[in-house]
Structure formats: structure tokens, C-alpha cells
Structure 1
Amino acid sequence: MPPERGLAIGALAERTGLAVSAIRYYEAQGLITADRNAGGQRRFARAAIRRLSFVMIAQQFGVSLAEIRALLSELPGNRTPTPADWTRISLRFRQQIDQRIATLERLRDDLDGCIGCGCLSLPKCRLYNPDDRAHAKGSGPRYLMGDSAASVLTSDAQS
């Protein structure tokens, strides 16, 4: 894209509803790129509108910027993404959403015994501490104190 063409950052902000500072941040994070014109002003390809829209949607689903960056890295950088390119990305995104849904359903189903507990090491905690495995590391909220479930399982195996 010749630098004299493309969208100025203000136009991109207007088209996406994002603040100029947010667009600069996303550019710094490698989610979009800009060329510079002779005056040093950023000029964005029109494809940046779709990329930023995807970023906003993905963030609403709790997807991290690192995950979004990985998904967007699969899009071509030298041309406008085609519907087939977006379909490929959406299938990967769909898999991540399905995994999150399964995790949330499991959390919902096990949450009734966890609300208000806060300790994460009760013998009855099916969600974070089945069979009171965290007790082997000591008393208190072991996972919140930095012990991982893996370290608790390791100490169980050594016992």
C-alpha cells in the first residue's frame, strides 16, 4: 500500500469506534501494521478495520491478546484476507470457544460446593482439590499461595 493511501489513524478510529490510543496500542502489540507517509503519519490498510473488529470480538470472549495475535498471524500480510482466510481463522477460534464453553459448563456444574469457600483446600472441593490433595503441602489456600495442582499431585505420588 503506498503510504499516501490508506486510512489515517483518526479515520480508522472513527470506522472501528476505538480510541486512537487503543489503535496505537494494538499496533504496538503487533495486531495491525501501518505504513508512514512522507510526513510520518500512520496510514493503515482497509484490512485493519476487519482485524480490529476481530480483536474487539475476541476480547469480548475473554481471548488474550497473545491468542489473538497467534490467530491473526495466520492471515496474509501482503494482501487483503479472503473469505476463505477468515473461515480458516474462525474454525480455530470456534475450537477455542468450544473449549471455553466446556470449561464454563464444568465450573457451573461444580460451583455449588465452592461458592463462599475461598480456601481451595477443603477435602470436599471437587473443583480444585479432589480428595484434599492440596493438604499434603500444608494448611491454608495452597493454590492461592503459589502451589500448583501439578506440584500437589507430584507430592502425592511420592508419598
Structure 2
Amino acid sequence: MPGQAFKKDPLLPIGEITKRSGVAASALRYYESLGLISSSRQGTTRRYFPRSTLRRVAFILFAQKIGYSLEEIGQQLARLPTDKLPTNRDWQALSRGWKQQVAQRIEELQRLDMDLDHCIGCGCLSLQRCKLANPNDLAGTSGTGPRLWLSDKAPEHD
């Protein structure tokens, strides 16, 4: 879509896109600078966006909420057809892999919830308590940093 206008896709001023999407004009300009959306200018400095930009902005917002970076979102949006307006089927094809990403985020948040009760509730603030959850620092053998939060599974111990 960037740089492409379609006959059945009316242009809307940036203020209308902002109002209808709930996204600040500065964010729209930033998305445009990244090539995620595109605008045109008609004789003035005002930006006009195709109405279909509203769907692209919604896609960007949802994708960010489930953890995709703007670079990853750009890669996904680049798969949309450039010779016609994207259809519902096109959009569904882009979001097909999201269920797995959402499931991973849910699992991570559930682990965080359980660990909040266990670790923060403990109040020990020492390695003594952690030795019970991570005996002999088995998680440390997987590398540095918060291994259990870097998608590593909990170490098996006897």
C-alpha cells in the first residue's frame, strides 16, 4: 500500500484518521516514516491518508499488544497485495500466526502471576529461598540473566 492509492479508497485528512483511530498524529507520522502507512499531499502540507489506513493502524495496534515489534509488523504488512485493497482474507492470513504468540504471552503472564505470589510474597530477598526453586543454580547452567523469563523451562532437579 505505501505509495499506492486505490480508486475505491477515499482519502481522509490526518485529523480524521487520528479521530477515528484514536492514534495521535505524531504516531501516524512515525508509522509513515517507517513505511507502515502512507499518505499523499494535495497542494498543501496537509497529509491525506487512504481510508484503508484505519485498518492498517488497527492491525499495528493489535500486533503491538501481542508483542510484535514495529519492524516485525512492517514485514507482515509488506505481504499485503499492492495491486488492490486488501480483503478480509488477506488480513486473516496475516494474523493467522497470532494465536501461538498470544498463547505464549498467556503462559508467560501465568508464570509471572504464580511467581509473584511465590517469590515476592516470600519476602526473604535472599538466595536461600531461591535455592528451593532453583537448587544449585541449575537455571544458571543455561546462561546468564533471568533464564526462566527468557523462555527457558524450569530446570529439572531431584
Deviation at 1:48, TM superposition (A): 0.6
Does residue 46 of the first structure (1) align with residue 42 of the second (2)? no
2:105 is aligned with 1:100: yes
1:117 positional shift: 6.4
- Superposed CA deviations along residues 41-85 of structure 1, whole A, max 9, x for unmatched, are 322111110011122233334443233323323222342211111
Root-mean-square deviation (Å): 3.2
Alignment correspondent of 2:69: 64
Unaligned runs of 5+ in 1: 137-142, 151-159
Residue ranges of structure 2 left out of the alignment (5+ in a row): 148-158
When the two structures are aligned, how many residues end up with a matched partner?
136
Higher RCO structure, 1 or 2 (CA under 8 Å, sep 6+): 2
Tell me by how many angstroms 1:91 deviates: 1.1
Equivalence for 1:9: 14
User: Percent sequence identity over matched residues?
Assistant: 41
Paired residue for 1:140? none
Q: Secondary structure of 1:12's partner? A: helix
Structure 2: how far apart are the matches of 1:135 and 1:12?
Answer: 49
Match of 2:132, SS state, is coil
The TM-score with structure 1 as length reference comes to 0.65
Q: Answer whether contact 1:125 1:132 (CA < 8 A) is retained.
A: no
TM-score (norm 2): 0.66
1:25 aligns with 2:30: yes
Cα distance, 1:123–1:50 mapped onto 2, change above 3 Å: same
